[in-house]
Chains A and B, each alone.
Chain A
């Protein structure tokens, strides 16, 4: 088997897999139209629950437990804190993905799309995914300074506020377009 043969078989297999993946449409996959319908949900974010999460992860509570509670209870609390931190991290990623989906909808509805911006977003998404997985594994390994999740959520909530403004504008434009279309149709029917 020569190197060229292996290389081209590899490329062929990757291309066929890429083709199958690109054309395959899972039943639960949201289409662009249904994404538009779900844009209203953008306002409700997991970061809204940040104060409660911070309360649950407060170091003072744990210090108190260290002094007064049994080892069993300490272990259970440590496990619970880790579970909460992981669930919160996953929820923040959910928020992040939801915002990215919104960005995709805006791009799909725009008459012009800047390739540089889109490629940059792809790169940043890949970087986020890598960092997210690293943090997740370190949390699982017990190395994470849990309260610092705070910084992550501040950024996402800032973006979410800005996106809500954009969504409002988007809704207004869509309504105006629908109104225009219906009035044009109405005129057409009158003419007939």
Chain B
């Protein structure tokens, strides 16, 4: 247990160091102008780390009150995390107005749906409410992000590697938190105190790794914003799209009747 606690502390320091490096790149490279919410997210995380350090130093690591305050402090960072992700996606999709319009709707619907289920589950199990709410948020976040990225791939829209790293980092960390919370709730239903250091080691370790990836991605200047792609009048899409769908529907009808005897044609 003691070695686990030491590992948690080491990962925590590494993560904090990583965040400070990322923050440095954001300010000295001028990325904060392009990514204000992402910058705010990193700054808030550093502030949260200082707050948690003071909290645990004062109340002790095993204090119930300190743990509750720590969970509540997480709410602000989670909100900024969502805004930062939406911001990165907006930067990537800004030259494609129509797809961004579709993308943010996919993001909102997927996030809202999964989060609603998670809220119901967390509400029905008050002992584990914080863990379930945290898992639900990260699950909704990862589902929405992957759905939006699949949409981007569907339309063959290129994502610059720096933004890829930011989005992959967010998603990977969320998936790990979902799995860590599930293992904790399932395998240690009554002895959460035993699992807590393991949970912290896994999540802080992953977060430290993500900071390394982000620092590498942000050490170079971000790609210049693409100009708006040559845009078509909305009327062309409105005219062509339903017609394509009509043709595809007819084609599918023909295919489904492929094995029926054909009526004689004149």
Contacts and interface: CB of A to CB of B under 8 A. Distances in A.
Interface of A: 2, 4-5, 8-9, 11-12, 15-16, 18-19, 21-23, 25, 29-32, 35, 96, 99, 101, 103-104, 106-115, 117-118, 120-121, 124-125, 127-128, 131-132, 135, 138, 143, 145, 148, 151-152, 155-156, 158-159, 162-163, 166, 169-170, 173-174, 177-178
Q: How large is the interface on B (under 10, 10 to 19, 20 to 34, 35 or more residues)?
A: 35 or more
Contacts of A162: 240, 243-244, 247
Contacts of A25: 158
Contact of B182 (A9, A104, A109, A131): A9
Interface string B138-177: 0100110110011011111111000010011001100100
* Interface of chain A, main secondary structure: helix
Contacts of A21: 150, 153
Interface stretch (B36-44, B58-66, B70-78, B227-235): B227-235
B250 interface: yes
B231 A110 contact: yes
Given A8-B179, A106-B240, 19 more contacts: A8-B182, A19-B172, A23-B167, A32-B155, A106-B232, A108-B156, A109-B232, A113-B102, A115-B105, A117-B241, A118-B102, A121-B248, A124-B251, A125-B248, A135-B255, A152-B254, A162-B243, A170-B236, A173-B236
A156 B230 contact: no
Nearest to A127: B252
Contact of A16 (B175, B233, B234, B236): B175
Given A12-B179, A110-B236, A131 B255 contact: yes
Nearest to B102: A113
A152 B251 contact: yes
A29 B157 CA distance: 11
A106 B149 contact: no
Contact of A22 (B139, B146, B158, B254): B146
Given A108-B98, A113-B101, A15 B142 contact: yes
A36 to B, nearest CB: 8
Contacts of A138: 259
Contact of B139 (A11, A29, A110, A124): A11
Contact of A131 (B149, B167, B245, B258): B258
14 contacts: A2-B186, A5-B187, A18-B150, A29-B156, A101-B156, A106-B240, A111-B232, A112-B97, A112-B101, A125-B248, A143-B259, A152-B254, A159-B248, A177-B231
